[in-house]
Amino acid sequence: MTNLTKQSGYSETMQCVEVIRKKDPNFIPKVGIILGSGLGPLADEIENKVAIPYNELPGVPSSTVPGHEGSLILGNLSGVPVVCMKGRIHLYEGVAAHKIKLLIRTIKQLGAHTLILTNAAGSLRKEVIAGEIALITDHINFQHTVPLIGPNDEEFGERFVAMDNAYDKSLRQKLKLVAEKHGVPLHEGVYIAVLGPNFESPAEIRAFKVLGADMVGMSTVPEVIVARHCGLKVVAISTITNLAAGMEDKSLSHDDTLLYAKIGAKKLHKLLKAFLEEYQDELSQ
Ligand code: HPA
């Protein structure tokens, strides 16, 4: 067994699962949720919650980004047993790509069948402005790495994983129905993932528009690839925190990201709760 497999494969995942099961022995989450910038308050609404800081989970790196506290939170949200990642790991923090596998596979191994991802993103479409939310229909991986490189962990999935329907069509349809019913405007589009931590140059944004991207961000895609590899259904939503570089007359900043993430998060919060409630029976199986 190579070092890479040892560090991020089956046994390390099972060690995390064991720590969690000891803290919350009989709880089986069915839906995993990754809470992006501004969505932390959703975790406050989880009932009967058990919170486990990332530093208690062997091998899980703690996030170094303000606004991304690191803990796994288990409990019931709108009647659905969930496990939330409050805070995520970004590749720009210098963490090896394979480290992304651990929490996603832990979520799967705990019993979840679905993963809902949220993030903050810049918009490449000028009509989709800061504070709006958008469903991800597909992605472009511009991070030039993939967490699955290295020996394949057969326990989780096959070597070559398909990326068509990565963002589950039927779940997207359900989210759109719920959004319409509850009067939450929901855009949709293709998300391009960059490595960061710098924001893009205006020339890069012009190039990404030609490639077919509608949103740009520094997360989500590695997690989605790992999730699909281990068979989790995926749905992902971006909170738009800014128009992308060069589209407005001001420089981008993380402060603005956090400010608008909070505004968008209110809509996303409402949408996710309504979605879980509406499909409670189906999602809890
Ligand atoms: N670019 C990359 N990541 C982001 C952006 C952006 O404009 N906004 C929020 N996250």
Residue 275 DSSP one-character state: H
Neighbours of 136 (CB within 10 A): 27
User: Which one has a higher pLDDT value, 24 or 229?
Assistant: 229
Looking at the chain, the whole-number percentage of residues with pLDDT higher than 90 is 78
Query: For residue 197, what are its two tokens?
Result: 């931590």
pLDDT band with cut points at 50, 70 and 90 for residue 207: very high
Active site residue 90: yes
Q: Residue 88 pLDDT > 50, yes or no?
A: yes
For the chain, the domains span 2-283
C-beta of 252 in contact with ligand 1 (< 6 A): yes
Question: What local confidence, expressed as pLDDT, does residue 98 receive?
Answer: 87
Question: What local confidence, expressed as pLDDT, does residue 37 receive?
Answer: 77
Give the distance (Å) from ligand 1 centre to CA of residue 249. 16
User: Which one has a higher pLDDT value, 43 or 107?
Assistant: 107
Question: What local confidence, expressed as pLDDT, does residue 42 receive?
Answer: 86
Give the distance (Å) from ligand 1 centre to CA of residue 163. 23
Active site residue 244: no
pLDDT band with cut points at 50, 70 and 90 for residue 260: confident
C-alpha 38/C-alpha 91 separation (Å) is 19
Q: Residue 67 pLDDT > 50, yes or no?
A: yes
What is this structure's pTM?
0.94
Give the distance (Å) from ligand 1 centre to CA of residue 241. 7
The best mutation among 252, 256, 259 to test binding of ligand 1, ranked by most ligand atoms within 8 Å of the C-beta, falls on 252
Active site residue 218: yes
C-alpha 216/C-alpha 205 separation (Å) is 9
Of 148, 114, 121, the C-alpha closest to 136 is 121
Question: What local confidence, expressed as pLDDT, does residue 145 receive?
Answer: 95
pLDDT band with cut points at 50, 70 and 90 for residue 69: low
Active site residue 254: yes
For the segment 127-136, the average pLDDT, to the nearest whole number, is 96
Active site residue 93: yes
C-alpha 196/C-alpha 190 separation (Å) is 18
Q: Could you tell me which CATH class the domain 2-283 is placed in?
A: alpha beta
Q: Which atom of ligand 1 is nearest to the CA of 194?
A: 2
Question: What local confidence, expressed as pLDDT, does residue 3 receive?
Answer: 46
For the segment 220-234, the average pLDDT, to the nearest whole number, is 98
For the segment 142-153, the average pLDDT, to the nearest whole number, is 95
C-alpha 134/C-alpha 124 separation (Å) is 12
